[in-house]
Amino acid sequence: MNTKEILKAFPQPDGKILRTINKEACEKAVEQIIAGGKKTIREIVDLVVEPGKGEDIQPRHALHATAIRVGGAGKAKERKSFSANLADTLADDRPKAVKGFIIRQLQICAGAQQADAIAPFLNEPDEHLYEYAAQALEAIGTETVSHFRKAYPKAKGAPRLTILQGLGVLRDSESKDAFRDATKDKDLEIRLAGLWGLMRIASGEDVDLVLSQSAKESGWGRIKATAYCLELAENLEAKGSKKGAQAIYLNIKKTRTAKNEDHLLESADRGLARLK
């Protein structure tokens, strides 16, 4: 069966609402897509267009449905094949918005083998590609952390923040220096991401840095930074590093004395009570 015939199983919406889906027909179509391999997948991707440039509901539906189905139990072989063939289409000359859609499907089904195809988009600022790439790599897991490390020194603007946050999501202790530098950045979001990263890796040696940098913030930045201090204390507490946790709680009691910070004192008191 040719590709256009396969796609007929995926319904067109009635207006803006998809009212009727023949589940059995869609399941059969997914099996045909998987069986068709690289040729069929590429032909379907070729039918996906930029938003507003044409009708592509059926090919989008087909790719999304297949990405979900190959993630099921006992589908390892199908998942590996589909993900590899779909990732290969990222190297083609396609609109960035289409590549963004492809990466979002890979977020559902890709494995570590597809990381090399996704990673180049970490520093692509257009069409939110950097966000989609980061989310896909984070979904794959810690084996992708090297891609974030390589991308960060070259990153600017929004991708820089997203990549730094990715390093925090993956709890990359080898990025400790990057987190430390970030806490002193001129941009508030970068500073907070640096503090968050140090909190995520529970860096006991950076307690003084986290406390001093958080104390310099004001307004919303101070609220977030203080929350990260308390989370760091809890993480250190969980690791058995009572000295570092105690230092944070005592500092909070000493420095957060404004009327609207009473709840912070209560949190610090509870933390200290647990350490006794």
What is the three-state SS of 189-246?
HHHHHHHHHHHHCCCHHHHHHHHHHHHCCCHHHHHHHHHHHHHHHHHHHHCCCHHHHH
Q: Does residue 136 sit within a domain?
A: no
Examine the pLDDT at 233 and tell me if it is beyond 80: yes
Dist. CA 125–CA 53, nearest whole Å: 21
224 vs 52, higher pLDDT: 224
User: Which residues are within 8 A (CB) of 56 and not within 5 positions of it... i.e. 6 or more apart?
Assistant: 47, 48, 49
What mean pLDDT is predicted for residues 129-139? 98
Examine the pLDDT at 16 and tell me if it is beyond 80: no
pLDDT class for 15, splitting at 50, 70, 90?
low
Q: Does residue 199 sit within a domain?
A: yes
* Mean of the per-residue pLDDT values of the chain: 94
Of 199, 171, 169, 172, residue with least CA distance to 183: 199
State the residue range of the domain holding 261.
185-276
Q: What is the pLDDT of residue 22?
A: 81
- Residue 143 has phi, psi (to 5 degrees) of -70, -5
Domains in the chain, number: 1
pLDDT class for 74, splitting at 50, 70, 90?
confident
Q: Does residue 270 sit within a domain?
A: yes
Examine the pLDDT at 210 and tell me if it is beyond 90: yes
Q: Does residue 36 sit within a domain?
A: no
Which residue(s) pair with 17 in the sheet? 14
Residue keyed to tokens 């970068």:
190
Q: Does residue 267 sit within a domain?
A: yes
What mean pLDDT is predicted for residues 98-125? 97
Q: Does residue 67 sit within a domain?
A: no
pLDDT class for 18, splitting at 50, 70, 90?
low
pLDDT class for 17, splitting at 50, 70, 90?
low
